[in-house]
């Protein structure tokens, strides 16, 4: 059984990958604690953050300072994201549990999935995304995945993070339980329907023009259309449908590296408490207005 333990990795370089520990990161920690009530939340770091939101998050965490790897099984690694990839697998092999990126916000408990040895979720049109990983320390899948770093190529950005686990799951389906694309990673960052997470509810009379704008925005970008009909179909769905899908998801991945400037930079406790975006309404249901009011007061 997968332990009820959460793992985060952060602070592997001095500038934290370009972003300090923010309100978004606090939400990831707090929601993991509130929704899952884990036995431990391990925070694996090398450079400790120092922000107001770090001070608030720290009370929920068990700190574990790690050395930052510069190689894996003889292959050099230089980018902080690849180093984080290695550390998450090492710590899961040591402790087992649930690894989450710090831009993943929990919505429902992972308890139903803990009966498996290994769980990952599909990222629509790509592979199995390593932003959410559930595993026992003895997982055969985890061992094989880490061993695959013997062929690590730092020039191939997502090979070992997304594509290789998909291939491994197809080769050894009995080693892993794979959740569908709505479990962890909906909406995907590059599908037009992702705008529903941040926009106000779309009125019926505006829906046709809204859909048209989103499709035109993505026209001429074939990399965004791994499954074109799926993306357009999601866009055509109602706001209520999108919110029902998300309400049943275990978590929502907020794609920090791509959504920071348009959305996440402006995310505050007050905007969630009082806002009418899909994310604000969704998260109010998870945290509750009283707790959000307390957090707003903390932020001044």
Per-residue pLDDT, averaged over 118-140, amounts to: 94
Which are the contacts of 128, defined by CB distance < 8 A and separation ≥ 6? 120, 121, 122, 162, 165, 166, 169, 178
Q: Are strands 62-65 and 40-45 parallel, antiparallel or unpaired?
A: parallel
Closest-CA residue to 177 (of 130, 114, 94): 114
**pTM (2 d.p.):** 0.89
Break the chain into its structural domains and give their ranges.
5-179, 192-299
Tens of pLDDT along 138-159? Answer: 999 999 999 988 887 766 667 7
pLDDT in the model for residue 169: 96
pLDDT in the model for residue 230: 53
On the 0-12 / 13-18 / 19+ scale of CB atoms within 10 A, 67 is: exposed
Task: Name the fold adopted by 5-179.
Answer: Spore Coat Polysaccharide Biosynthesis Protein SpsA; Chain A (3.90.550)
> What tokens were used for 285?
């249901």
Residue 171 — φ and ψ, nearest 5°? -80, -35
Q: How far is Cα 214 from Cα 217, in angstroms, rounded to an integer?
A: 5
Closest-CA residue to 188 (of 259, 237, 120): 259
Q: What is the Cα Rg of the chain in Å? A: 19
Mean pLDDT, the chain, integer? 85
Tens of pLDDT along 80-94? Answer: 788 899 999 999 999
């Amino acid at each position: 059984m997968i332990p009820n333990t959460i793992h985060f990795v952060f602070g592997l370089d001095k500038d934290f990958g370009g972003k300090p520990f923010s309100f978004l990161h606090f939400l990831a920690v707090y929601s993991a604690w509130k929704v899952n009530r884990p036995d431990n939340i391990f925070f694996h770091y090398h450079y400790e953050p120092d922000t107001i939101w770090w001070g608030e998050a720290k009370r929920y965490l068990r700190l574990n300072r790690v050395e930052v790897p510069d190689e894996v099984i003889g292959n050099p690694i230089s980018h902080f994201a690849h180093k984080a990839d290695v550390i998450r697998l090492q710590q899961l092999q040591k402790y087992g549990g649930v690894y989450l990126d710090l831009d993943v916000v929990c919505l429902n408990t992972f308890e139903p999935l803990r009966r498996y040895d290994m769980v990952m979720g599909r990222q629509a049109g790509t592979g199995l995304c390593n932003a959410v990983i559930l595993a026992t320390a003895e997982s055969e899948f985890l061992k094989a995945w880490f061993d695959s770093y013997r062929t690590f190529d730092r020039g191939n950005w997502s090979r070992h993070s997304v594509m290789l686990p998909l291939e491994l799951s197809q080769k050894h389906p009995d080693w892993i339980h794979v959740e569908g694309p709505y479990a962890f990673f909906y909406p995907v960052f590059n599908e037009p329907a992702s705008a529903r997470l941040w926009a106000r509810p779309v009125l019926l009379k505006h829906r046709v023009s809204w859909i048209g704008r989103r499709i035109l925005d993505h026209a001429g970008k074939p990399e965004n259309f791994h499954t074109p009909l799926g993306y357009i179909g999601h866009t055509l769905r109602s706001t209520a449908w999108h919110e029902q899908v998300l309400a049943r998801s275990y978590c929502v991945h907020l794609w920090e590296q791509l959504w920071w400037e348009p959305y996440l930079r402006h995310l505050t406790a007050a905007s969630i408490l009082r806002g009418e975006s899909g994310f604000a309404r969704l998260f109010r249901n998870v945290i509750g207005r009283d707790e959000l009011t307390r957090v707003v007061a903390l932020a001044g």
